Amino acid sequence: MSFDIQTFHADAVRTPSHEDVGEMRDLLLETLRDAGTEPAVDDLGNVLATREGETGDADGDEGPHVVLNTHIDTVAPHVPLERDREGDDEVVRGRGACDAKGPLAALLAAFLRVEPTAGKLTLAITPDEETLMTGAAGLQDRLSADGFIVGEPTDLDVCIAARGQCEGTITIEGESGHAASVPAERNPVFGLEHVLAALHTYDEEAGPGEDPVLGEPKLTATALAGGEAPNRVPESCQLTFDRRSVPPETSESFRTGLDVYLEEHVPDPLSVSVDLIRPDTPFPTAFVTDGDERLVRTLQAASGGEVRPFGAATEAGFFAADAPTVVFGPGVLADEEGAVAHAEREYVRLSEVEAAADALEEALSELLA
């Protein structure tokens, strides 16, 4: 099968996919077809391709099914492709260089190189990881596998866990009127002090506790809104939060728990309510995979990286409920100078992309033998 990892990666980074993934999806489909496979696009925009080994052994065991997943969308704005050298290594800069077109190139190379002698290898590429995550959430119900490898920038470490993430608002309602007449206990802006104090104590008193792998959950107030005039008390004000969860907490269990907790800590006559932002779309869920799983041990041996948690939200949580799941790929989320993924300075070293492909090929060849 003909596939040049450097050319594909450069073409992918050159292709904008921050507003619409159509052109990037076409590049992926064309690459797969040129390599001799027959990809498909489902109704959610996921690109799917499969390679199968022998049908089964004498006992009817069809062998393991491993799924390779990452995404083709990127955050805005598009940053054009640039290349430079650091010694003997080529550095590729531009939007998606490491998040996640570097991991995509590595996964695609391994998918095309591996010849399964048993079981099945599926490539499942989603279109909206940076926004709605409907592609991965849909695949959760459509793909059944024995292991998932999700491509993200992990510096070639094998990441076995990640916090979940959701966002929401806390609305405090009270009495509106002239600033000279509304009592403080009815002023929703003054009510913020009770809400903020409760956010500080929520996890200690009502949260899920510390996870042995992921550590503690994190609850962060991120924005405030309310009021239209300096001499008028608003009827309500609103605080926005970001939640990073650990198992077994889900976005809905957190919303319910925080709502009850705030009702207990915000005094009458004020009222308080908690709502999730985009409640009709999926939120990434927290997951932890056992470090002793064969998938983990095999990929770690091939890559030589550490086994650790991943530092950002990912689609991996949708798959981890079904089978052992790891996050793996070239590039880093941040370096000693600051953010890399999602930053204007986003980059990846080509040697890492190629090393990731080699490690994936070695691990998959063993898992599907």
- Condensed to tens digits (0 to 9), the pLDDT of residues 26-52 reads 999 999 999 999 999 999 999 999 999
The confidence band for 58, taking pLDDT boundaries of 50, 70 and 90, is very low
Domain span holding position 230: 164-276
Which of 247, 276, 305 terminates a domain? The answer is: 276
Domain assignment present for 21: yes
Flag whether 11 is in a domain. yes
Q: Tell whether 263 and 293 lie within a shared domain.
A: no
Average pLDDT, the chain: 95
Token duo for residue 368: 């599907």
35 and 141 housed in the same domain = yes
- The reply to whether 13 and 98 lie within a common domain is yes
What is the per-residue pLDDT across 188-202, written as a single tens digit (0 to 9) for each?
A: 999 999 999 999 999
Q: 224, 255, 276: which is the final residue of a domain?
A: 276
**Could you write out the DSSP letters of every residue in 106-139?**
HHHHHHHH---SBSEEEEEEES-TTTT-HHHHHH
Taking every pair of Cα atoms in the chain, the longest distance, rounded to a whole number of angstroms, is 85
307 and 327, same domain (yes or no): yes
Q: What is the pLDDT of residues 228-245, one digit of tens each?
A: 999 999 999 999 999 999
Do 290 and 266 fall into the same domain?
A: no
- Average confidence (pLDDT) over 146-165: 98
Q: Residue 88: which pLDDT band, with cuts at 50, 70 and 90?
A: confident
Q: With bands split at pLDDT 50, 70 and 90, how would you rate the model's confidence at 87?
A: confident
Residue 61 — very low, low, confident or very high, per pLDDT cuts 50/70/90? low
Instruction: Please check whether residues 154 and 303 belong to one and the same domain.
Output: yes
- Find, among 5, 46, 6, 9, the residue nearest to 29 by Cα: 46
State the CATH number of the domain containing residue 292.
3.40.630.10
Number of domains in the chain: 2
108 and 224 share a domain? Answer: no
**What are 333-356's pLDDT values in tens digits?**
999 999 999 999 999 999 999 999
* pLDDT for the residue 138: 95
| Same-domain status, 181 and 248 | yes
Kindly state whether residues 55 and 18 are assigned to the same domain.
Answer: yes
284-330 tens-digit pLDDT: 999 999 999 999 999 999 999 999 999 999 999 999 999 999 999 99
By 3-state DSSP, what share of the chain in percent is helix, strand and coil, each rounded to 5? Answer: 30, 25, 45
Which pLDDT score, from 0 to 100, does residue 54 have? 67
Domain annotation covers residue 281? no
Taking residues 128-157, what's their average pLDDT? 96
* 211 and 181 together in one domain: yes
| Residue 175, pLDDT score | 96
Is 325 a domain residue? yes
Is residue 341 within 8 A of residue 99, CB to CB? The reply is yes
Using the predicted structure, report yes or no on whether residue 363 has a pLDDT greater than 70.
yes
Are residue 184 and residue 241 in the same domain, yes or no? yes
pLDDT > 70: percent of the chain: 98
User: Are residues 115 and 207 both part of a single domain?
Assistant: no
